[in-house]
Structure 1
Amino acid sequence: MTTVDRAIREAFAPSGVLRASINFGNPILATRGTNGEPRGISVDLATELARQLELPLELVTFDAAGKAVTGVANGDVDFGFFAIDRVRAEEIAFSNPYVLIQGSYLVRSESHIRTNAEVDRSGVRVAVGTGSAYDLFLTRELKHAEIIRGSTSPEVVNTFLRDKLDVAAGVTQQLEADAQRLGGMRLLPGNFMQIQQAMGIAKSRGIVAAAWLNDYVVEQVRSGFVRDAIAQQQIEGVAVPDL
């Protein structure tokens, strides 16, 4: 390794072990395998990053995006996989996005709400996962509806049903799966936001490490690594950006 390479390795993994934040709160990024082990596109990207840095890899799992962001910002883990958001960007240096996903609204089949525009009205209560990209975005965008925060994004529909709320907001695929499993619900047409999923590292690790991480993501997108990982993980309804 050159001096620069050693500096980058030390910036990424001051403990000598590269600790990746893996968020089970977004099934597009990571799920549990048959034995409970983490699997998914974020695991694939983390594994390849550790290989290129020639560092041992430790996967540190979280059940919500907000907790994963805090882990990286506090230095409890070394990098992670997050939706780009300007609030998170105060502490996290984001790469270019490696995948684009959609955020949708779910309502009961008999709901009078038919369009995304009808959600932001007085008296409408919207369930979101605490600290999720949807929470951060809708906190800024909704002017009249009330946001009700559940514990994690996978629990949004449970919160929506239990508390008799009007709308659930989250990852399109997660909401579709819950609607098919439970019945009596429908997705509103279109999406209320497009989410740019990126890799991120604490800004305190320095601009050189942040730039190196961005170059890594661009390389994995352009080489077809990301597209192949999506196909292998059988992920549907996502797009790979043109970088």
Structure 2
Amino acid sequence: MDASLKASFTPTGCLRASINLGNPILANKDPRSGQPVGVSVDLARAFAERLGVPLELVVLDTAGKSVDAVRQEQADIGFFAVDPLRGQEISFTGPYVLIEGFYLVRQDSPLQHSEEVDQPGLRVTVGAGSAYDLYLSREIKQAELVRAPSSPAVVETFLAQGHDVAAGVKQQLEADARRFPGLRLLPERFMVIRQAMGTPKSRGQAASDALYAFVEEMKASGFVADALWRHAIQGAAVAPAGR
């Protein structure tokens, strides 16, 4: 990359990457070192190497905080679900992985299918600022959305406050269902989440194009598939080429 393009990504001299630990498919803390690891961390490291600059991880616990870090230019790149609201200030690449959103209910719930969730009087727990929150805020017309502090806290909030439905990443909900007996997933997904990289729109079209090309290369080369395998991530698929 030429010097001007490199400078657009690194105004502080290093590449600051916003990492969201609220989505375990993309990033987690290593139990031994305590350091963030995952597909998004691997991509951030590879892009910093491509630029030839040091990498600084801006580690946050929710998607909303991660988006705000890039929106406010406290980070130069980030890893988010593509959403029109976020896209007002952030330039997105094509998705690098696809993740499914599911609903979780109690075993004795009368709900059997995802399309039954949007009913008057039902309370649906979502992680504040998550892709599910943004999507369901547009799509849910009759049920009430109740926001947990973060995506990992959704099921605990759902149980503690006696809500009717929990919404989230399928793998997170499955793990919570193993921790808390008497819960089940509804059989159909309610959305497919397109996880992409993003950079502030203020960095210019050339920066947006360069980041897009990087993600396409990482998908085509097998880098993303290898990272999913290396981190033992199940239930996420490498996204097809393009947007």
Question: 2:133 aligned to 132, 135, 147, which one?
Answer: 135
1:166 to 150, 164, 167: 164
Q: In the aligned structure 2, how far is the partner of 1:220 from the partner of 1:193?
A: 24
* Match of residue 29, structure 2, among 32, 48, 53: 32
Give me the whole-angstrom Cα distance separating, in 1, the residues matched to 2:190 and 2:8: 37
Q: Percent identity?
A: 54
Report the secondary structure of 2:174's partner residue.
helix
What is residue 157 of structure 1 aligned with on the other side? 155
Deviation at 1:136, TM superposition (A): 0.2
What are the equivalent positions in structure 2 for 1:89-104 lying under 5 Å apart? 89-104=87-102
- Distance in 2 (alpha carbons) for counterparts of 1:175 and 1:5: 44
**How far apart, in 1, do the equivalents of 2:112 and 2:2 lie?**
54
What count of residue pairs does the alignment treat as equivalent?
Answer: 240
Partner of residue 51 from structure 1, selected from 44, 49, 54: 49
Indicate yes or no: 2:25 matched with 1:5.
no
| Counterparts of 1:152 and 1:36, CA distance in 2 | 20
Partner of 1:223: 221
After TM superposition, give the deviation of residue 35 of structure 1 in Å: 2.1
Residues in 1 aligned to 2:168 and 2:93: alpha-carbon distance in whole angstroms:
23
**Distance across 2 between alignment mates of 1:201 and 1:241:** 19
The one-character-per-residue Cα deviations of 1:79-134 (angstroms, maximum 9, x if unpaired) are: 10000000000011000000000000000011011110110000000000000000
Structure 1 length-normalised TM: 0.98
Tell me which residue corresponds to 1:16: 13
Answering whether residue 209 of structure 2 is matched by residue 188 of structure 1, we say: no
Q: CA offsets, 1:149-193, max 9 Å, x none?
A: 010000000110010000000000000000011111000002000
SS at match of 1:97: strand
CA distance, structure 2, for counterparts of residue 84 and residue 183 of structure 1: 33
Distance 2:33 2:173 in 1: 25
Corresponding residue SS for 1:27: coil
Partner in structure 2 of residue 176 of structure 1: 174
Partners in 2 of 1:20 and 1:5 — Cα distance?
A: 20
The equivalent position to 1:106 in structure 2, one of 104, 107, 124, is 104
Q: Partner amino acid for 1:95?
A: T
Distance in 1 of aligned mates of 2:5 and 2:184 = 48
CA distance in 1, matches of 2:169, 2:239: 18
Runs of 5+ consecutive residues of structure 1 not aligned to the other structure = none
The CA deviation at 1:199 is: 0.2
AA aligned to 1:17 is C
Map of 1:42 onto structure 2: 40
Normalised to the residue count of structure 2, the TM-score between the two structures is 0.98
Q: Gaps (5+ residues) in structure 2?
A: none
- What secondary structure does 1:237 align onto? coil
Pairwise CA distance, 1:21? 0.4
AA in 2 matched with 1:10: A
Q: CA RMSD in A?
A: 0.7
